[in-house]
Amino acid sequence: MQKPKYRRIVLKLSGEALAGQSGYGIDHEVLYSIARQVVKVVKQGVEVAIVVGGGNIWRGVAGSAKGMDRATADYMGMLATVINALALQDALEQEGMGTRVLSAIEMKEVCEPYIRRRAIRHLEKGRVTIFAAGTGNPYFSTDTAAALRSAEIEAEVILMAKRVDGVYDSDPEKNPQAQRYERLDYIDVLNQGLGVMDATAASLCMDNKIPIIVFDLTQNGNIFKVVMGEDIGTYVGR
């Protein structure tokens, strides 16, 4: 029987991914589809950590663009990620999976504070560990949080779940002639501004040699396929 390619992963979910076709809020069909896929991966012996965004509820950048104080807008975005993390936790637990939500902003009545060693221990016990509230600092994206947490817990790969099947040289929704990359170096992502993740996150991955796989979340079963080593999406690394 085929063995998983990775032992410990970080799955990066954007808030928009949880919104499904509606573009806002939480689509429960999408939520439970993700939960079922994650459970299937964990049953293969893979340790799964998840970093979730909050763009389906609030985007700090959008708020600051309309005159709101940037730090305040970003803190609101962090709280939105906690809402998504709790929804994901509930969906996973309804599928029979043990979980923990660890927040970079302390809120003891709702979830645990993020402590690196505690997070690693949860993973070792087979619990899906969901990281909420980004890095806990304004001006940093959840992409950067994914890169930082991956380095801290020594994850072998970041799985970037998108609504397209990889990284393209231009927007495939606007340009039908856009070409998909199968492999990229970190420096290509930075130099060409390809939108895989922001520059801070990409630099952090490059410095710590953490590979990134960008894949299509809308295709059911793709999380499992990536973890098992199937050649889908775009691989970013060395």
> Across the strands, what pairs with 47?
8
Residue range 8-236, CATH number: 3.40.1160.10
Q: Phi and psi (nearest 5°) for 222?
A: -70, -30
Give 11 or 192, the one with higher predicted confidence: 11
Identify the three-state secondary structure at position 63: helix
Residue spans per domain, the chain: 8-236
- Dump pLDDT digits (tens) for 176-205: 888 899 999 999 989 888 878 889 999 999
What is the spatial distance between Cα 193 and Cα 212, in angstroms, rounded to a whole number? 15
Is the pLDDT assigned to residue 60 strictly greater than 80?
Answer: no
> Across the strands, what pairs with 51?
12, 131
Q: Output the pLDDT for position 1.
A: 63
Is the pLDDT assigned to residue 56 strictly greater than 70?
Answer: yes
Angle between helices 28-42 and 70-94 (to 10 degrees): 60
Identify the three-state secondary structure at position 1: coil
> Across the strands, what pairs with 13?
52, 161
The label of the residue with tokens 């807008």 reads: 73
pLDDT above 90 coverage of the chain, percent: 75
- Which residues contact residue 73 at a Cβ distance below 8 angstroms, ignoring those fewer than 6 apart? 58, 60, 61, 62, 63, 64, 138
- Dump pLDDT digits (tens) for 78-124: 999 999 999 999 999 999 999 999 999 999 999 999 999 999 999 99
Neighbour count for residue 50 (Cβ, 10 Å): 27
Q: Given pLDDT bands bounded at 50, 70 and 90, which one contains residue 73?
A: very high
Both tokens of 225, joined, read 């396929």
Record the pTM: 0.93
